[in-house]
């Protein structure tokens, strides 16, 4: 543990500010998407007994340029509140689910987050708009390369670092993380991800079988290492791919 004297003398590390996308023709589409997500959330949050999405999360959703993370032939529907295919049997998540998982993570500016399953890079972009640094792992090399390229083009190279590999094991050399988010569904909670979670940190993860019942879980790690598990809602995610599955 770092001594308090060092904490007082050492400057806090600078958190890279995302480069805001320049104004573009899709700004109105982003606003409409955020309004749709907020309407959807009013019904969903009441049904789940949860607070509504925070203004900070909705604002981050409104800044991240989703159209830069979808295939060219889906540009016209980039801001629909639906998941979309991105190739390699993977999808870009529904904007509402991206917002909900971001909310559940309960990050603060300056936090460091581990993301398992970079996919398109969109979830990482939204997290970067929340002021956090994201270390993201993608097992499909072509998707990792594309996400790295698209994140850089959108101005997030300084706040999102993309790695290629099996995310089940996390990134132990960089642990602990203030939050961990998993964007594909394993059939159980990976123990390495819990081990790499900082005290007080949150792990947000869909768990269940492919094509079967899946639940979105939010797990909080207490100071004594105990884990509190919250069941949030039923979801449908692609399965988490492991190295031995390829």
| Catalytic site positions | 93
77-42-48 Cα angle (round to 5):
110
- Nearest C-alpha neighbor of 52 from the set 66, 34, 33, 28: 34
176 prior amide bond cis, ω within 30: yes
CA dist 7 and 11 (Å) reads: 8
Which residue matches tokens 């300084």? 158
Which residue matches tokens 């642990």? 175
- Nearest C-alpha neighbor of 197 from the set 207, 186, 189: 189
Full strand arrangement of the beta sheet holding 197-208: 160-164, 133-138, 112-116, 177-182, 197-208, 214-221, 227-234
Indicate the Cα dihedral angle 174, 178, 135, 38, nearest 10°. 170
Whether 94 contacts 84, CB under 8 Å: no
């Amino acid at each position: 543990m770092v001594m308090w004297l060092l904490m007082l003398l050492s400057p806090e590390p600078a958190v890279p500010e995302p480069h805001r996308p320049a104004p573009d023709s899709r700004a109105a589409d982003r606003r409409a998407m955020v309004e749709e997500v907020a309407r959807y959330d009013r019904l969903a949050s009441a049904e789940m007994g949860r607070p509504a999405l925070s203004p900070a999360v909705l604002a981050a959703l409104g800044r991240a340029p989703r159209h830069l993370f979808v295939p060219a032939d889906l540009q016209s529907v980039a801001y629909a509140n639906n998941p979309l295919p991105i190739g390699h049997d993977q999808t870009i998540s529904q904007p509402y689910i991206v917002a909900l998982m971001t909310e559940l993570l309960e990050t603060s500016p300056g936090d460091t987050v581990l993301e398992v399953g970079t996919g398109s890079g969109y979830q990482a972009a939204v997290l970067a708009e929340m002021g956090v640094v994201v270390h993201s792992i993608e097992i499909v090399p072509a998707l990792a390369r594309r996400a790295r390229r698209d994140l850089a083009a959108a101005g997030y190279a300084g706040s999102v670092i993309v790695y290629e590999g099996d995310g089940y094991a996390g990134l132990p050399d960089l642990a602990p993380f203030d939050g961990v988010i998993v964007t594909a569904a394993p059939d159980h909670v990976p123990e390495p991800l819990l081990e790499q979670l900082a005290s007080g940190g949150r792990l947000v993860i869909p768990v269940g079988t492919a094509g079967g019942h899946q639940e979105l879980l939010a797990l909080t790690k207490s100071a004594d290492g105990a884990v509190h598990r919250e069941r949030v809602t039923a979801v449908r995610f692609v399965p988490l791919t492991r190295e031995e599955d390829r």
